[in-house]
């Protein structure tokens, strides 16, 4: 599984992106791709964690998120977009877990382009309101990632 973080903005998103990628790493994702603006500090932070604690976690910057999704699907993978809109995670997690396809979990940034919704195999609403209210965005993503990995 990989995570695609859309439209990263270094000054504004540094902590959110870093926490999202750390959560993905903690739950066994192979790596992450981020689009938007290149941020070597995010990459260095994740590299440091992997060196200190072991394990492999690849972080890549690819400016064009659309090409990432297209390539993932062309290689037989499945795209899961985490959004406020879509199917409640509780209703679809079993179907998603049952699929043996490689997963690309897409997490938005500023404004998610409509094409992401159309390209995704699953648009999953993250329906953990108490976490959203308390600003624990990474915890939401972490909960979803946990649903996928622990079958």
Look at residue 136 and tell me whether its pLDDT is greater than 80: no
DSSP-assigned letter for residue 136:
-
Determine the distance from the C-alpha atom of residue 121 to the mean position of all C-alpha atoms in its chain, rounded to a whole number.
Answer: 14
Token couple for 27: 């739950």
Between 133 and 93, name the one with better pLDDT: 93
Per the CB < 8 A criterion, the answer to whether 87 and 123 are in contact is yes
pLDDT value at residue 91: 87
pLDDT value at residue 60: 96
pLDDT of 68-113, one tens digit each? 999 999 999 999 999 888 898 888 888 998 999 999 999 987 789 9
Alpha-carbon gap, residue 40 to 132, rounded angstroms: 28
| Mean pLDDT score of the chain | 85
Q: Domain 2-149: give its CATH code.
A: 3.40.1280.10
Residue spans per domain, the chain: 2-149
Which bin fits 144, alpha (ψ -120 to 50), beta or left (φ > 0)? alpha
């Amino acid at each position: 599984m990989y995570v695609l973080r859309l439209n990263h903005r270094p000054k504004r998103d540094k902590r959110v992106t870093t926490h999202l990628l750390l959560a993905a790493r903690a739950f066994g994702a192979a790596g992450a791709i981020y689009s938007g603006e290149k941020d070597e500090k995010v990459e260095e932070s994740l590299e440091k964690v992997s060196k200190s604690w072991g394990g492999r976690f690849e972080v890549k910057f690819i400016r064009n998120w659309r090409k990432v999704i297209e390539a993932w699907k062309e290689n037989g993978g499945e795209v899961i977009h985490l959004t406020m809109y879509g199917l409640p995670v509780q209703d679809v997690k079993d179907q998603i877990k049952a699929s043996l396809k490689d997963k690309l979990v897409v997490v938005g940034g500023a404004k998610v382009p409509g094409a992401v919704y159309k390209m995704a195999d699953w648009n999953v609403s993250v329906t953990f309101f108490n976490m959203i209210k308390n600003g624990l965005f990474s915890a939401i993503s972490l909960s979803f990632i946990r649903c996928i990995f622990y079958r």
